[in-house]
Amino acid sequence: MATAELNGAAITDFASFHAACKAALGFPDTYGNSMDAWVDCLSYLRDDDSMSKFRLKPNEVLEIVIKDGAAMQAAVPDILEEVTYCVAGINERYEDYGEKPALKLTLR
């Protein structure tokens, strides 16, 4: 399983969240630093679009691990809630196209 790790203790606002995701997920320089852009970059992990450094095989899943997730939950619960919501929405989009969900969110 492909894995990207984020340091939950270092995420204190949306700016730090997007910076961490851009680095860990390999988003392009044109990444818009918004949740809409985050969803766009992770919606085509099985295509050749170069929106992240990950290119998944048909049944492969990208696990996004948030280390020190408790710190993130305490500091910015709204961001964690938004990420959880977006992961579910992205996976639903994959299923709508007859594909296996592509993302797994893990808090450690």
Q: What is the mean pLDDT of residues 19-45?
A: 97
Amino acid identity for residue 1 in this structure: M
Q: Which two tokens stand for residue 47?
A: 């295509």
58 exposed, middle or buried (CB, 10 Å; 0-12, 13-18, 19+)? Answer: exposed
Q: Which of 18-22, 25-29, 47-51, 94-98 has the lowest mean pLDDT?
A: 47-51
Domains parsed from the chain with CATH numbers: 2-107 (3.30.370.10)
Average pLDDT over residues 10-19: 98
pLDDT band of 16, cuts 50, 70, 90:
very high
Please write the tens of the pLDDT for every residue from 50-76.
899 999 999 999 999 999 999 999 999
Phi, psi of 94 (to 5 degrees): -60, -45
The pLDDT, as a whole number, for residue 49 is 85
* Entry pTM: 0.96
